[in-house]
Amino acid sequence: GDSVTQMEGPVTLSEEAFLTINCTYTATGYPSLFWYVQYPGEGLQLLLKATKADDKGSNKGFEATYRKETTSFHLEKGSVQVSDSAVYFCALLFRPGSQGNLIFGKGTKLSVKP
């Protein structure tokens, strides 16, 4: 069945370091792909998304490109800040128009040290 695999954490970086969090997926058809972020003590919120191959989602300095050939949607940021410390979830939607069918990865905890 459809699934999402993301790199296990935790990931600890120094401020201004480059971030990559890997995400690969298995799906039939052409899913939409998402990154959600969960800050400490809060619920998840959408960070960025891409709905078709070669789309690049971006927000708050984060980027991710939908790579159909490698079935990947890796999250990157050129220079992380302490405020980026959070848990990041990759997700895929296999039924367009219905967010209820989001499949989440297990999450990757990021800690950024000053």
Partner 1 sequence: EAQVTQNPRYLITVTGKKLTVTCSQNMNHEYMSWYRQDPGLGLRQIYYSMNVEVTDKGDVPEGYKVSRKEKRNFPLILESPSPNQTSLYFCASSDRRKLFFGSGTQLSVL
d(CA 28, CA 70): 14
d(CA 57, CA 63): 6
Question: Does 57 engage in binding with partner 1 (CB under 8 A)?
Answer: no
Q: Which of 85, 103, 86 is nearest to 94 (CA)?
A: 103
Question: Does 102 engage in binding with partner 1 (CB under 8 A)?
Answer: yes
Min dist. Cβ of residue 94 to partner 1 (A): 13
Q: Which of residues 16-35 bind partner 1 (CB under 8 A)?
A: 34
Min dist. Cβ of residue 3 to partner 1 (A): 11
Q: Which of 78, 69, 66 is nearest to 20 (CA)?
A: 78
Q: What residues make contact with partner 1 under the rule CB under 8 A? A: 34, 36, 41-46, 49, 89, 97-100, 102, 104-107
